[in-house]
Amino acid sequence: MPISSPDQSSIVSRRELIDPPCREPLDQLLEAMPGGFNAIADIVARRATVDQMLAAMPAPENPGVGIEDRMVPGPEYAPKVRVRIYRPDGVSGTLPCVYYIHGGGMILGTVEGEEGSAMRICHEVGAVVVSVDYRLAPENPHPAPVEDCYAGLVWTAANVEELDVDPGRIAIYGGSAGGGPSHRDRAPGP
């Protein structure tokens, strides 16, 4: 029996496979970066392009959020990891915590680039936000970025009293790679 080719009228474009509400933001991204991320072969150029896009965005207004940077222990035999801690101004007592891992495929992105989002979460949710500044690949191959993220989470869980965070209310948040870099099978305990 001969193999028949599909009816050309039933073939849909890749764009049509995307949920309609997501098409407009994707179109805007592709307009800003023609060809998308894959069109830029050099990682340094990719990072520069993303940094330019972020710099062109209006600086976030601080909605009443205190910000503090700390260097915390990194993975074994690795450098310390910077975390940026956001706390709502004028709020006392134990708060929930959002552990924020920025997106970027573990190859680009920065804490500063997602500061507006972290401040909004802190302010609107009323939570302490701890954002991790992990090392980027390919200069730091896998598992370095993931291990940095985990080291920051371990530090956060071990310092809930100092952070005034409820240890039973720590959530992990992030877009793109920030939403799923964990390779551990359990959350850290104090």
pTM for the model: 0.74
The mean pLDDT value for 38-59 works out to 73
Q: At the topology level of CATH, where does 65-179 sit?
A: Rossmann fold (3.40.50)
Q: Where are the domains of the chain?
A: 14-56, 65-179
Cα–Cα distance, 187 to 74 (Å, whole number): 17
The answer to whether the beta carbons of residues 183 and 103 sit under 8 Å apart is no
Identify each DSSP E strand in the chain by its residue range.
Answer: 65-72, 81-88, 95-101, 128-133, 165-173
User: pLDDT tens digits, residue range 114-130?
Assistant: 898 999 999 999 999 99
The answer to whether the beta carbons of residues 80 and 73 sit under 8 Å apart is yes
Quick one: pLDDT band at residue 187, thresholds 50, 70, 90? very low
